[in-house]
Structure 1
């Protein structure tokens, strides 16, 4: 006989209380996270307030350390390669310049990227990392996103986070890109090997996690030949491309091309997926020195030509910071050596640089099509030598524009992929240096200045700097103003806080002495630059 219900003790129905955890993360039961749950609301508000005050204290402590601790010093090799020498463009063993690795102030290399009020984005990351993964999340949010999407970081980043909800392993590859970026900046600044080792090991761990996730997809034929798979592989290629991992990039690029073909071709893909694919094409072309592995599709090209402010004629009325920007490519005595098709491409780059440098005066957030325009022009520049026959002079100009956009727009300072491109530029310069010095000295000054900015932390930096000093003497340039007047005739705009460029010029005036350089972040465009 069943017992009377009144003798049965009622089971409590109160909801599970949220566990408070001290530290960087707040664990929340999403199934129980309702707006009417007062306990949940109070817990989250308390967590945000506590973390806000802690970050404020850490920020003040960090600022005091930055003031008290001198920047690390980085010294070039005493020997300077001759004009005709073509040694490899490798890196210095910068860590050997340190007296004591334990005394290296890592915070003095990368400016604090943790923003007050920004909640942790990766509390459930499966991969074990040596550093708090939130460090990489914040680094990506503040810096790396601008290297991936320089003309519309906010829109593309939010679009990506929505993709992460459908495929969480994508978070690992984004953090891998961030860790690689952080390691490159540390290495270029002269950080000891042990300091660089942490983010480098985390880069490999996170990337391996993504590779395993993609391998799981390959076991399911229903998911293999889909757009989401191509999208995931494209992020892996970007991560490997930044590190100039040529073999891995080539293998994964070939696999992605096959998947794209079996999904119906490029024109059937989403615009965001196409943007990631052409980012892969850019990095592949940069490190492999080959024509673009994937042709420009009509869907992507038409969107850029029809919607981009950079391309449309209305851009001509935009207020520019330098009315003479790039004028020397069209009015200099040597400008007739540049073919009309190449000149048209340079003209578009003029508009792109002008647009980018005026982002601070634009009230509305740039649309993603502007970033697609950058990818489109880069694709055209990579394709150019395989479409028309370029002279050695034109090839040097083409490579110089690629280097300029890589550091002043993409902000790829310190990345291994940039090292490959700078090395290619140096080899081309070695073959034509004497001719350029005698007939195109102002152009040569711009090329060497851009090369000197881009090559910091590389073995070939002393080569660029030594020849920059020679050409500056040849042009009788005595002050920063006179140098700017020459640089602005090409693709260069002096920014209001362009301290790295100014300091490079000051070192040039002192005959190339580079003692005391480190890495800082300029407030304009959040560039990671050498100082």
Structure 2
């Protein structure tokens, strides 16, 4: 085909999106504002060509609209006129066509401030979707009690360090894979972000090796900060051995640098995030002691420990935990932790209504209470009843506050809860059936898409039947007296409603608490709740 067959048409000024990049002989011609077409095929009005034109116009429109919005929000630094050179010079032109140089711009629909209005990176895979996922989902899961400024601070730290940026993308990809898996997405859709997470983490470890080889120029705190993100990435995927190995290395580096009291608050927060993820995977002594600097800041600045601040949005929230006959046997240290946790739940559920400025210390308070729960079995001797309650509170925290639905490390915690509950099931049935119902409800929510799901749902059905719960109102009246609030009941029941439908429960099932409420659009929960893997077994599932 001769070159005179190719014509180009300039896109109208009021349309916007990126152009389709030409390949072959047309690759050397100007791109970005033009769509190259074969006018003979154009005359034949081929369907594929029509679709290509529509895609060109639509894509360019959205791109220009995003740029206009970014300029409206603030000055947008001009991108480099030439793309960043790839690290591999042996790539062919056709391979380079698949590599997109990404410019991260503020997203009006994100609802989360972007710490970097313009960021250009070179990579072998498109990280656009992971940037977006981190800003929308992962950042909120990492900092559920923080203001936007805290998210921006962590994001700017990543912008300044390419190694840190890679591991944040790995965390985002792993989180996305977990959500897709728990939502019943096709295996191919889950496989892509899972592979990208491994690739990003591998690139981070390579960069970290180079940093460790140059100890004369190495910044110890920044290196610890990077490794802590690697531990989080490994922990999310339940790689216990890798997380323990990295944690041992971090502890040695901290001791060599003079101790944890010399580290900044952001680094300390990341380290205790590592302890939290490692702790829910294995019931072992925390590898890091509670830093006096971290603890002092939480106790002095956190609103939860100030007597004049009370966030309880319901007079019944947590009352059964403190007023029931069985609660009198709870260890005083454990009961004190539960009291502060009650304040935290109230604060979280009324986050937009409380008269307290959100600060990073509130998120540190969450980490502090989680650390206390994880280290509690090594501070005092807990009964099987108390141990089951401790694991249940941790599970609730993972599901409701940290939003770790579908994450593999949550599966490890649920297995611990199932085994502990199985050993003390008769005791709960005879002394605390209301608490048993709440625990099984939490386990059913947290285990969706996991192998323990059928066990929790089957026993939840039995517990509802034992207590004579005939409608949702009677069930909600019990749940609200534990760590539940009215705002969260709707979205939680919507999840169980989907679980029940996918499990094939008949309308005559005693599990009637799911069938009563009508879920409105505001209480339907996140969009990834729309699909749930069908459950395979119900009654014939017993722990080993």
Q: TM-score, normalised by structure 1?
A: 0.74
Q: 2:213 aligns with which of 216, 219, 234?
A: 219
| Alignment check: 8 A CA contact 1:52 1:116 kept | no
The answer to whether structure 1 residue 442 and structure 2 residue 434 are counterparts is yes
Is 1:156 aligned with 2:150?
yes
1:127-166 aligned within 5 A: 127-129=123-125, 132-152=126-146, 154-166=148-160
In the TM superposition, what is the alpha-carbon distance from 1:284 to its structure 2 partner? 1.0
The 2-side partners of 1:452 and 1:380 are apart by 25
Seen in structure 2, the aligned counterparts of structure 1 residues 496 and 189 have a Cα distance that, compared at 3 Å, is closer
Structure 2 partner of 1:344 = 336
CA–CA separation in structure 2 for the residues paired with 1:258 and 1:355: 37
Summarize the Cα distance change of 1:530–1:249 in structure 2 as closer, same or farther, 3 Å threshold.
farther
SS in structure 1 opposite 2:206?
helix
Query: Which structure carries more relative contact order (alpha carbon 8 Å, separation 6+)?
Result: 1
Residue of structure 2 aligned with 1:292, choices 261, 264, 286: 286
Residues 333-356 of structure 1 deviation map (CA, whole Å, 9 limit, x = unaligned):
111120111111100000000000
Measure, in 1, the Cα distance between the counterparts of 2:233 and 2:369.
Answer: 22
Q: 1:527 to 1:403 in 2, by over 3 A?
A: farther
> Residues of 2 paired with 1:128 and 1:343: CA distance?
52
After superposition, residues 358-437 of structure 1 pair within 5 angstroms as: 358-362=350-354, 365-437=357-429
1:125 maps onto 2:121 in alignment: yes
Choose from 59, 62, 65 the match for 1:50.
65
How far apart are residue 392 of structure 1 and its match?
A: 0.3
Aligned to 1:479: 471
Q: Check whether the contact 1:281–1:379 (CA below 8 A) recurs between aligned residues.
A: yes
1:465–1:24 CA distance, 2 compared to 1 (3 A): farther
Equivalent residue in structure 1 for 2:459, among 444, 456, 467: 467
Q: 2:236 aligns with which of 229, 234, 242?
A: 242
Aligned-residue offset at 1:126: 3.3
1:448/1:464 contact within 8 Å kept: yes
Gaps of 5+ in 1: 1-19, 26-44, 56-111, 516-520
Deviation per residue, 1:403-455 (Å, 9 max, x gap): 00000000000000100000100000111112211211000000000000000
Query: Secondary structure in 1 aligned to 2:233?
Result: helix
Q: Alignment partner for residue 22 of structure 1, among 15, 18, 26? A: 18
Q: Could you tell me how far apart the structure 2 residues matched to 1:505 and 1:152 are?
A: 31
Distance 1:122 1:209 in 2: 22
The answer on 1:231 being equivalent to 2:193 is no
Structure 1 residues 303 and 47: CA distance shift in structure 2, 3 A: same
Separation of aligned partners in 2, 1:296 and 1:171: 28
Could you tell me how far apart the structure 1 residues matched to 2:210 and 2:314 are?
Answer: 52
Helix, strand or coil for the counterpart of 2:275?
helix
TM-score where L is the length of structure 2: 0.73
Aligned-pair Cα RMSD in Å: 3.3
Query: Per the alignment, do residues 203 and 273 of structure 1 end up closer, same or farther by CA in structure 2, a change over 3 Å counting?
Result: same
Do the aligned partners of residues 364 and 137 (structure 1) sit closer, same or farther apart at CA in structure 2, a change above 3 Å counting? farther
Cα distance in 1 for partners of 2:330, 2:177 equals: 39
Alpha-carbon separation, structure 2, partners of 1:122 and 1:53? 14
Structure 1 counterpart of 2:89: none
Q: 1:223 to 1:202 in 2, by over 3 A?
A: same
Q: Is the 8 A contact 2:347 2:354 kept in 1?
A: no
CA drift at 1:54? 12
Q: State how many pairs are aligned.
A: 429
* C-alpha contact (below 8 Å) 2:490/2:523 kept by paired residues: no
Is 1:238–1:279's contact at 8 Å kept on the other side of the alignment?
A: yes
Bigger mean CA deviation after superposition, 382-391 or 506-515 = 506-515
The question of whether the paired residues in 2 share the 8 Å contact of 1:325 and 1:492 is answered with yes
Task: Give, in whole Å, the separation in 1 of the partners of 2:463 and 2:142.
Answer: 34
